[in-house]
Amino acid sequence: MITTAPRKLVVIGDSGVYGWGDPEGGGWCERLRRQWMTLPSAPVVYGLGVRGDGLERIAQRWQQEWSCRGELRRQQPDGLLLSVGLNDSARVGRCDGRQQLTAEAFRFGLEQLLSVMTPATNVMVMGLSVVDEAVMPFADCLWYSNEAVAIHEAQLEETCLELDVPFLSLHQAMAAEPDWLTWLEPDGIHLNSTGHHWIYQRLQHWKPLLNWAGLEPHAQCTPLLMS
């Protein structure tokens, strides 16, 4: 009897993917992994988040980490969900200092990265979360702003549109929520359990992800206030 191996989804990114700030659920990626484990036909989720990562570091590590998670010989994961850009938007040293990556440099690097990723697997890209500018700087040296984050998310969205890559916008929708400031850790950049759950809910209803996974939206629904 031949057993069909389940699909694999590699989620690669920064501390948001890692789940920092969510001691209750382990982060939006871990919440998705746990939910999909309850569904017999759902893909296996591998969360590969590293705190502080930006575009350049992910470009260096993604291929090796993605390619070794096929589980079976000569098999590689069917899907990759990319979450990157928040750390690239930060300014160093002062509020008007140089950015880790300017919008132009971020756009160029993203185009290069996706041009390598997309022939290898099914790629999907996530947008960026909000930040609390009032508590900057982070770690006494990094200044995050919602204006810069929005600009970097626009680079993500425009690049994905050009390359026909599914994109899930987050920043504007999150900023429109009346209580979004309460969804952040005291450091101003990491989401707490409520913030991670909000993103998890968005993923549960994101058609490109569900279509790729072969899942129905109603199978993913949970109440808004669950943490």
Residue 226, pLDDT score: 39
Total structural domains in the chain?
1
Confirm whether 226 is domain-assigned.
no
Residue 6, pLDDT score: 82
Question: Which residues is 120 bridged to in the sheet?
Answer: none
Confirm whether 223 is domain-assigned.
no
Confirm whether 12 is domain-assigned.
yes
Mean pLDDT of 97-111: 97
Confirm whether 1 is domain-assigned.
no
pLDDT per residue over 39-94, tens digit each?
988 999 999 999 999 999 999 999 999 988 877 667 788 999 999 999 999 999 99
pLDDT per residue over 136-146, tens digit each?
999 999 999 99
Confirm whether 224 is domain-assigned.
no
Owner of token pair 């900023």: 175
Q: What number of helices (H) and strands (E) belong to the chain?
A: 9, 7
Is residue 159 within 8 A of residue 107, CB to CB? The reply is: yes
Confirm whether 146 is domain-assigned.
yes
Confirm whether 3 is domain-assigned.
no
Mean pLDDT of 157-177: 98
Domain with 42 in it: what CATH number?
3.40.50.1110
Structural domain for 66, as ranges? 8-218
Residue 32 DSSP label: H
Report the sign of the C-alpha dihedral through residues 70, 73, 75, 76, in that order.
Answer: positive
Mean pLDDT of 97-122: 97
Helix (H, G, I), strand (E, B) or coil at 65: helix
Give pTM, 2 decimals: 0.92
Confirm whether 2 is domain-assigned.
no
